């Protein structure tokens, strides 16, 4: 049903709308979230760039739900390895690291949480490597500030 609903020229707009609607992970709609993560991480969607930022949207849908993140991470690792030219569709490496460092409270066993953290960090490194030199430009090292110049009359 998800593939049918998103198999239109405006799929990107529909996915963005669904991502925004599902922004609160504590709400229900678990089946829809899972279906969207599966759909957005399909090679047939990612490889041709059919939906811009589908991987970033799938990450946004997964974020806050450890079960969905555990579904997302291995699929994302396989896709970034297979299609490194689609790296700009993935979440920025710093976002992946932030989530790895701040996983929400869960009853998931500690060793599985540790595996998930390691997977998110590995995905961040893979996206960074695929982005190449532009990865360093994604987040400025320090905030940019305008310098005051002395006026000369």
Q: Is 42 exposed, middle or buried (0-12, 13-18, 19+ CB in 10 A)?
A: middle
The string of pLDDT tens digits covering residues 50-64 is 888 889 999 998 988
Q: Is 25 exposed, middle or buried (0-12, 13-18, 19+ CB in 10 A)?
A: middle
The string of pLDDT tens digits covering residues 97-123 is 999 999 988 888 999 999 999 999 999
The string of pLDDT tens digits covering residues 3-62 is 665 665 667 776 676 666 666 555 567 778 888 888 889 898 888 888 888 899 999 989
Sequence-distant (≥ 6) Cβ neighbours of residue 95 within 8 angstroms = 59
Sequence-distant (≥ 6) Cβ neighbours of residue 52 within 8 angstroms = 12, 89
- Among 86, 66, 69, which Cα is nearest to 126's? 86
Is the whole-model pTM more than 0.95? Answer: no
- Among 65, 70, 59, which Cα is nearest to 30's? 65
User: What is the per-residue pLDDT for 24?
Assistant: 58
């Amino acid at each position: 049903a998800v593939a049918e609903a998103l198999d239109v020229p405006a799929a990107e707009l529909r996915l963005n709308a669904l991502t925004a609607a599902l922004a609160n992970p504590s709400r229900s709609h678990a089946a829809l979230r899972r279906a969207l993560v599966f759909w957005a991480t399909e090679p047939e969607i990612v490889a041709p760039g059919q939906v811009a930022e589908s991987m970033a949207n799938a990450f946004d849908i997964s974020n806050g739900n450890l079960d969905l993140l555990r579904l997302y991470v291995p699929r994302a690792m396989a896709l970034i390895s297979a299609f490194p030219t689609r790296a700009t569709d993935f979440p920025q490496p710093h976002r992946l690291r932030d989530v790895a460092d701040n996983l929400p409270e869960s009853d998931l066993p500690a060793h599985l949480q540790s595996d998930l953290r390691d997977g998110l960090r590995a995905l961040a490194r893979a996206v960074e490597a695929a982005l190449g030199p532009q990865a360093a430009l994604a987040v400025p090292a320090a905030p940019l500030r305008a310098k005051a110049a002395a006026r000369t009359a």
